[in-house]
Amino acid sequence: MIWIIRLYLLLMGFIYGLIGIWALLDPLLGALELGYPSFLNAVGLAVTSPLGYSEIAGIYGGLNLCIGIMCLVGIFKKNIGIFSVKLITFLVGSIALGRVLFSLLPTTPGFYNSFFVFEISALLIGIILLYFSRSKTKHS
C-alpha cells in the first residue's frame, strides 16, 4: 500500500508543482510570446490590476508549488506523505463542493468540467488511500 501512496504523491507532486511553476511564470511567458498556453486563459481568469498578478502568483503559483514540494517530500517521509494525502483530499473535495454549490444558484453555469473531474477523481482516490492506510495501521 505504501508504494501506491508514493506513486499518488509523485503524480500529485508533479501536477501541483507544474501548475505552481506555470502560474508563477505566466506573465513572463506571455511577455516573451514564446507560444506557451496562458495559465490565466486555461483557468478563465483575467488580471485587471497589478495586484492581480500578485494574487495569481501567491494563490495559484506559491500554494500549488508548495503542495507539489510537500507531496515530493512525503514520498520519503511517511507522516508528511499521509498528511499530504489528507490535505489534497480536503482541498479537492472543498473545491468540488464549491463548484457544485455555486451551480445551484439561479443563472450560474454548471460545475462539470475537466477540473471538476480531476477534483472528484483525486477526492475518491484520496479517500480510498486514507481508508486502506488507516485499516492497515490498525491491523499491524
Q: What is the dihedral of CA 9, 56, 102, 119, to 10 degrees?
A: -10
Q: pLDDT at position 109, please?
A: 82
Give Cα separations from 21 to 13, 38, 52, 108 (angstroms): 12, 12, 17, 31
Residue type, 105: L
Q: pLDDT at position 138, please?
A: 61
Q: pLDDT at position 13, please?
A: 98
1: exposed, middle or buried (Cβ count in 10 Å: 0-12, 13-18, 19+): exposed
10-residue stretch averages of pLDDT, the chain, 140 residues long: 93 96 87 84 89 89 96 96 97 94 88 88 97 72
| pTM as predicted | 0.86
